[in-house]
Amino acid sequence: MLYLLDADTLIRADSTYYPLSRFPIFWVWLGHHGQLHNIKIPVEQYEEIVAGNGELVDWLQDADTASAMILN
């Protein structure tokens, strides 16, 4: 089963519950499941997030992360 995440899911996770600097394993887990095609982000949601700045944007713009997470 494929789960699609919207921008708010990732933004809220980073800003409230699982900041990248405090819970890196959560973001590793997301990337892993992105590679397995279990979790994806529609390109429109990706573009909404990367229009901002911060650790989440840096994480998503990493080439490996982007290829794992963006729904093609």
pTM score: 0.91
Q: How many domains does the chain have?
A: 1
Q: Residue 13 has what pLDDT?
A: 97
Domain that holds residue 27: 3-69
Q: Residue 50 has what pLDDT?
A: 97
Q: Is 46 exposed, middle or buried (0-12, 13-18, 19+ CB in 10 A)?
A: buried
User: pLDDT band for position 65 (50/70/90)?
Assistant: very high
Q: Residue 53 has what pLDDT?
A: 95
What tokens does 65 get? 């992360």
